[in-house]
Amino acid sequence: MSKEISKLLSHVLRHAPERLGLVLDPNGWTSVNDLIIKAKKAGYKLDRETLEIVVAMNDKQRFTLSDDGRRIRAAQGHSLKIDLGLKASEPPVLLFHGTARSNLDSIFAEGLKPGRRQHVHLSLDESTAMKVGERHGKAVVLRVDAARMHADGKTFWQADNGVWLTGHVPPQYLSF
């Protein structure tokens, strides 16, 4: 059941809050009580305890509860226009991006683009990037020269769950 709830949360908190009749504030937060009530009305078995377990146990830490526990949001990955309120940060020297081998021609022509999301997502390590890439086909991991990008004026943010975000990675910063 927690996998079903996790998928529901990912969908409504990142892409389609209207599916449950939720409203997200400009920073992506919504009321935990509203979420639970509206999920139950839609036929999901969700209570506070289940929600807290799903948030704590999510392998990618996709969700963030507010300090007072009354609000929830997705940590990153929004297709909706959301301002996560993250401060620009200096990234590590290298970051990684997992993708399908079939995407390489367009990536090396145009760079990494956010697609339907607000940001390009970058991982701290190759193994995480490989797992991401495997979801899209025969996986390959690209290295991102984040230090050089940052020195050249590109902005990076680190989401609550540790994922690094940027608007676009031009091809000159990519390698294998």
Neighbouring C-beta atoms of residue 80, cutoff 10 Å: 14
Give kind and range of the element (H or E) at residue 2.
helix 2-14
Q: What is the pLDDT of residue 1?
A: 56
Q: What is the pLDDT of residue 135?
A: 87
Contacts of 40 (CB under 8 A, 6+ apart): 46
CB 9 within 8 Å of CB 16: no
Q: Please return the burial class of 64, using the count of CB atoms within 10 Å of its CB with bins 0-12, 13-18 and 19+.
A: buried
CA distance 125 to 123: 6
Instruction: Report the length, in residues, of the chain.
Output: 176
Write phi, then psi, for 140 (nearest 5 degrees): -140, 150
Domains and CATH numbers, the chain: 2-74 (1.10.10.970), 94-175 (3.20.170.30)
Contacts of 8 (CB under 8 A, 6+ apart): 39, 44
Q: Reading across the β-sheet that carries 94-100, which strands appear in turn?
A: 94-100, 139-145, 174-175
Neighbouring C-beta atoms of residue 113, cutoff 10 Å: 13
Q: Which residues pair with 45 in a beta bridge?
A: none
> pTM of the predicted model, to two decimals?
0.87
Phi-psi region of 97 (alpha: psi -120 to 50; beta: other; left: phi over 0): beta
* pLDDT tens across the length of the chain (176 residues): 588 999 999 999 999 999 999 999 999 999 999 999 999 999 999 999 999 999 999 888 999 999 999 999 999 999 999 999 999 999 999 999 999 999 999 999 999 999 988 999 999 999 999 999 998 889 999 999 999 999 999 999 999 999 999 999 999 999 98
